[in-house]
Chain A
Amino acid sequence: MARLTVDDLCKTFPGSGGRPPNRVLDNVSFDMQGQVFVSLVGPSGCGKSTLLNIVSGVETYTSGQLDLTNDEGRPARLGYVFQDPRLLPWRTVVQNMLYVQDDNSSQTRDRALRYLDMVGLANNTDYFPTQLSGGMQQRVGIARAFSVEPDLLLMDEPFSHLDAITARGLRENLQEIWIESRKTVLFVTHDVMEAVQLSDRIIMLQPGGRIFDDITIDLPRPRHQSDPKVATMQAEVLGRLESMTGVNDDVSQAAPTGGAP
Chain B
Amino acid sequence: MSTGVTDQFPGGALAAWEQGEAQGRRALRQRQARILMFVLLGWLTMLLVWQWGSAQLPGRVLPGPWPVAQEMWEIVASGRFVRHFLTSVTRTFMGFGVAALVGVPVGYAMGRSRYWRAFFHDGVTISGTVPALTYAVMSLIIFGISTIGPVLAVALVSTPYVALNVAEGVRGVDRDLIKMSEAFGRSRREIRRHVLIPTIVPFVYAAVRLSFAVAWKVEALTEVFGGRNGVGFEIRREYQLFNVTGLLAWMFLFIAFMLVIERLLAVSERRLLAWRPQERAGI
Binding site for B on A (CB under 8 A): 56, 58, 77-80, 82, 84, 86, 88-91, 99-100, 102, 120, 128-131, 133, 135-136, 148, 154
Q: A58-B183, A80-B183, A86-B180 are in contact. List 4 more A-B contacts (CB 8 A).
A: A58-B179, A91-B194, A99-B186, A131-B277
Binding site for A on B (CB under 8 A): 1, 176-177, 179-186, 190, 194-195, 198, 273-277
A136 to B275, CA, bound (A): 17
A133–B185 contact, CB under 8 A?
A: no
CB-defined contacts of B194 to chain A, threshold 8 Å: 88, 91, 99
Of the candidates B1, B177, B183, the one whose C-beta lies within 8 Å of that of A136 is: B1
CB-defined contacts of A129 to chain B, threshold 8 Å: 275
Top 7 nearest A-B pairs (CB, nearest first) are A100-B184, A80-B183, A90-B198, A86-B180, A128-B275, A90-B275, A130-B277
CB-defined contacts of B186 to chain A, threshold 8 Å: 99-100
B195–A77 contact, CB under 8 A?
A: no
A56–B183 contact, CB under 8 A?
A: yes
Chain B binding surface, main DSSP class:
helix
Distance between B244 CB and nearest chain A CB, rounded to angstroms: 50
A148–B183 contact, CB under 8 A?
A: no
Distance between B8 CB and nearest chain A CB, rounded to angstroms: 15
From B184, B195, B273, residue with most partner A Cβ within 10 Å: B184
Could you jot down 23 A-B contacts, CB within 8 Å?
Answer: A56-B183, A58-B182, A77-B185, A78-B184, A78-B185, A79-B184, A80-B180, A82-B176, A88-B177, A88-B194, A89-B275, A89-B276, A90-B275, A91-B194, A91-B198, A99-B186, A100-B184, A128-B274, A128-B275, A129-B275, A136-B1, A148-B184, A154-B183
A82 to B273, CA, bound (A): 26
A88–B184 contact, CB under 8 A?
A: no
A84 to B276, CA, bound (A): 19
Residue of A nearest to B197 (CB): A90
Residue of A nearest to B201 (CB): A90
A84 to B176, CA, bound (A): 10
A99 to B193, CA, bound (A): 11
Known: A82-B176, A128-B275, A130-B277. A88 touches B183 (CB 8 A): no
A88–B176 contact, CB under 8 A?
A: no
CB-defined contacts of A90 to chain B, threshold 8 Å: 198, 273, 275
Distance between B130 CB and nearest chain A CB, rounded to angstroms: 35
Residue of A nearest to B278 (CB): A130
Residue of B nearest to A77 (CB): B185
A148 to B179, CA, bound (A): 17
A136 to B2, CA, bound (A): 11
Distance between B70 CB and nearest chain A CB, rounded to angstroms: 49
